[in-house]
Structure formats: C-alpha cells, structure tokens
Structure 1
Amino acid sequence: MSQPATHEIVIRGRVSARLLRPLLDDFTIDHASDGVTRLAGSIRDASHLHGVLAHLTSVNIEVISIAPLDDAP
C-alpha cells in the first residue's frame, strides 16, 4: 500500500461507538440491518491498517472482512 486508499472493514455485530472511539475520526460507521457493523475510511499505509486491526482485536471485536472501495466518482 503506497498511497492512502478507502477501505471497508466489516465486523460482526452492532459495535458501540464507545468501543470504536479511537477510530471515529478516520472512519464512518454504519450499523447494517444484517447484524454487522461497517467501517469505511482511508487507510494511509500498512502500519495504519495494522494499528486499526490491533485496536479491534484488543477489544475482542471479530473482523469479518477488509476490502478496498472503489474511489472513482
């Protein structure tokens, strides 16, 4: 990952803003009706992604998927 890219991180369950507080400035949060929470935001580089994942796992949140989003208009 050489340039920032928008990614979607899907996590299991409806995760509260309190647990996601460190990520609120970088991501938008969507509580989907299918029982997952979607985070969408810019990932600057590999170390930023690892930091986000470290936070999520430290509060025992199960990550379902991480995928780049198309930035095209």
Structure 2
Amino acid sequence: MSQPTTYEIVIRGRVSDRLLRPLLDDFTIDHARDGVTRLVGDIGDPSHLHGVLAHLTSVNIEVISIAPLGGIQAGPVGGAAT
C-alpha cells in the first residue's frame, strides 16, 4: 500500500462549509486568497481523488487546479542509478 499524497485543490469562489461538509474531515480549507477556496489534504489513492472530484462536480463547484504538494519522489529514468 502506498503512502497518501498531499494535494492542493483550488476551486472558484468562496465555497460554503455546507457544500464542503463531506470533505471537512480530510481537508483544511482556506478562503483567504483572491476569490478562490483552497483545499489541502491527503489523498490515499486515485479512487479517493476521483471521489473528491465527483463530490465537487456534483454540487456544481468549478475546480481550477489539482496538484500534489511537496517533493515527488521519482525513480531514476532509464534504469541507471547515479
């Protein structure tokens, strides 16, 4: 089982806690930036991420961006370690 990855999801507007209620336990919510709401939290696997996005789109929330935070550990390309 892989480690969860911390993601930042940016959505348009100041979204109410009522619409985000299913996500409150998993994400910190920041309404402070220029007309967007920022969600930061750990995503365990791709199905978890798809579930979060399904909820947001089901309540007509416009997702601006989704990005993993922090360093992404990648293995060497081409199979040669340096």
What TM-score comes out, normalization by structure 2 length?
0.82
Aligned to 2:42: 42
Question: How many residue pairs end up in the alignment?
Answer: 70
- Greater RCO, CA 8 A, separation 6+: 1
The structure whose residues are more often strand, as a share, is 1
User: What displacement does 1:32 show?
Assistant: 2.4
Aligned-pair distance for 1:56? 0.1
Q: CA deviation at 1:47?
A: 0.2
1:68 equivalent to 2:68? Answer yes
Runs of 4+ in 1 over 3 A off after TM superposition: none
TM score, norm. by length of structure 1: 0.91
* Structure possessing the higher radius of gyration over alpha carbons: 2
The unaligned stretches of length 5 or more in structure 1 are none
SS in structure 2 of the partner of residue 39 of structure 1? strand
Unpaired stretches in structure 2, ≥5 consecutive residues: 72-82
Classify the secondary structure of the residue corresponding to 2:39: strand
Query: What's the C-alpha RMSD, in Å, of the aligned pairs?
Result: 1.1
